[in-house]
Amino acid sequence: MQTHKEEQVASSELDEISSSLENVYEKAAQLIYNSKYLLITCGAGFSKDSGLAVYKDIASNPIYQEKNLTYHDLARPVSTFETEQELLDYYGFWVNCAQSYLNTPSHSGYQILKDWKQLLYSKKEIQKEFNEKQIEILSASQWWKENCKIASNMFIYSSNVDNHFSRYFEKEEIYNIHGHALNWQCGNHCNEDCVWNFTKQLQNIIINQETLQIDNEKLKELKCEKCQHASMPNVLMFGDLGQYIRNTEEEDRYIAWECSVETFSKESSTKFPFIILELGCGLTVPSVRRENECVLLDCDESYLIRVNLGQEELDTIHNVDLIPMKNDRILNIKNGCQDALHRIHQHLLKIIENNK
Ligand SMILES: [Zn+2]
Ligand SMILES: [Zn+2]
């Protein structure tokens, strides 16, 4: 009898745990359904779900180990490499990365986010003043031209360099904060605009599978057209001393969007019109996490949904001012990004159906 009772208790506790687990997805779906603006912010954990080899995996090849080259040695500005052999290794690594980004299909989480745009966010009524405010801010930028497109109520803020979001979202909706590996640039930063799309050429470069180097004949094609300095991926590297050319257009767009969202969230009738969805952002370089927490503190009408596989990543709050309000403003979901998005999506579809 005793045992039976204990078992019952145990199984009802289990039910409670599993239903509360499912509840976080339901709660996330409800928050998203009620919101008006969505900022999607991504780190390495999001790209990883596509099965994309992160730099670390690519660099863990035994050929690099034999050469005593780690990912920290390879993810550096081109000007730190002196000999021809070093350059051939460097380019072999980055061409390999770029080709694997191009050849890998994106995981289904991307399509879900795009579906939310069509099913939900494109149907929300956005005041024309919201767009006018963005344009007013952006018109101060040098690159701005009249009739340039602007983002609506969704925006992507990502530290990944695979550029996969461009397959699903418009250029004006994406800020790749560390650049991406399909754009290349002058390694000498000879000019603010010296960045070019290199996709086509990258596809045709052959990597020697025994050395993981490119052919030295190719070196002359990998130069800046303006100053003949060696080129490099337009990616923020370790030990950057100003070589990296920032994408000021994307940055300006994000700043204008976020500022306009803050302004118009204050006027909204719902409690949390502004949702920040953080997907797979780690603790090593927590720039995306910090930005999210900063927005959360700036804007009382915002709410953070933090998705991560790691408990430490979920438990860590960088900004101490946020700690007292964490239960009211942050929802933690312990899962991989793709699966979490699927679960939220199922609930969201139900809510949309019930509210038809
Ligand atoms: Zn140059
Ligand atoms: Zn702000």
Kindly identify the ligand whose nearest atom is closest to the C-alpha of 293. 2
Note whether 209 and 320 are same-domain residues.
no
The separation between CA 50 and the C-alpha centre of its own chain, rounded to angstroms, equals 13
Ligand 1 centroid, distance to 64 Cα (angstroms) = 29
Which of 235, 257, 282 is where one domain is finished?
235
For residue 58, what pLDDT is reported?
Answer: 72
> Binning pLDDT at 50, 70 and 90, where does residue 16 land?
low
Is residue 329 in a domain?
yes
Residues 296 and 164 in one domain: yes
Q: Are residues 76 and 89 in the same domain?
A: yes
| Window from 1-15, 37-51, 74-88 with minimum mean pLDDT | 1-15
Mark whether 183 and 324 lie in a shared domain: no
Tokens of 63: 């050929």
Cα-to-centroid distance, 200 and ligand 1 (Å): 20
Estimate the share of the chain in helix, then strand, then coil, as percent rounded to the nearest 5: 50, 15, 35
204 and 346 in a single domain? The answer is no
Ligand 1 geometric centre to CA of 44 (Å): 30
Residues 41 and 65 occupy one common structural domain: no
**Average confidence score pLDDT of the chain:** 93
Position 44 in a domain:
yes
Tokens of 341: 């998005």
Query: Is 240 within the bounds of a domain?
Result: no
Q: What does the pLDDT read at residue 7?
A: 45
Residues 341, 210: one domain? no
Compute, in angstroms, the gap from residue 282 CA to the centroid of ligand 1: 34
Share of the chain above pLDDT 70, in %: 93
| Partners of residue 195 on adjacent β-strands | 185
State whether 284 and 350 are in the same domain.
yes
Total number of domains in the chain: 2
Whether 34 is in a domain gets the answer: yes
Q: How far is the C-alpha of 46 from the C-alpha of 58, rounded, in Å?
A: 17
> In terms of domains, do 88 and 125 share one?
no
Check the annotation: does 186 bind a ligand: no
CATH number at residue 293: 3.40.50.1220
Q: Which ligand is nearest to the CA of 295?
A: 2
178 classed as catalytic? yes
pLDDT band at 319 (very low <50, low <70, confident <90, very high): very high
3-state SS record for the chain: CHHHHHHHHHHHHHHHHHHHHHHHHHHHHHHHHHCCEEEEEECHHHHHCCCCCCHHHHHCCHHHHHCCCCHHHHCCCHHHCCCHHHHHHHHHHHHHHHHHHHHCCCCHHHHHHHHHHHHCHHHCCCCHHHHHHHHHHHCCCCCCCCCCCCCCCEEEEECCCCCHHHHCCCHHHEEECCEEEEEEEECCCCCCCCEEECHHHHHCCCECCCCCCECHHHHHHCECCCCCCEEEEEECCCCCCCCCCCCHHHHHHHHHHHHHHHHHHCCCCCCCCEEEEEECCCCCCCHHHHHHHHHHHHCCCEEEEEEECCHHHHHCCCCHHHHHHHHHHEEEEECCHHHHHHHHHHHHHHHHHHCC
How many angstroms separate the alpha carbon of residue 212 from the centre of ligand 1? 26
10 within a domain of the structure (yes/no): no
Please determine, for residue 11, whether its predicted confidence score (pLDDT) is greater than 80. no
Does some domain include residue 2? Answer: no
If you average pLDDT over residues 11-18, what whole number do you get? 57
Residues 167 and 88 in one domain: no
Provide the pLDDT for residue 50.
85
Ligand 1: centre distance to CA 339 (Å): 44
Each residue of 205-263: pLDDT tens digit? 999 999 999 999 999 999 999 999 999 999 999 999 999 999 999 999 999 999 999 99
Q: Is the pLDDT of residue 10 over 60?
A: no
ipTM of the complex: 0.76
What is the domain range of residue 123?
23-49+107-177+247-354
Average pLDDT over residues 177-188: 97
Given 72, 107, 164, 178, which residue is catalytic?
178
Residue 331 binned pLDDT confidence (cut-offs 50, 70, 90): very high
Q: Per the domain annotation, does 119 fall within a domain?
A: yes
42 annotated ligand binder: no
Domain membership flag for residue 124? yes
What per-residue confidence (pLDDT) applies to 113?
A: 98
Q: Same structural domain for residues 41 and 129?
A: yes
User: Binding site annotation covers 190?
Assistant: yes
Same domain, 161 and 186: no
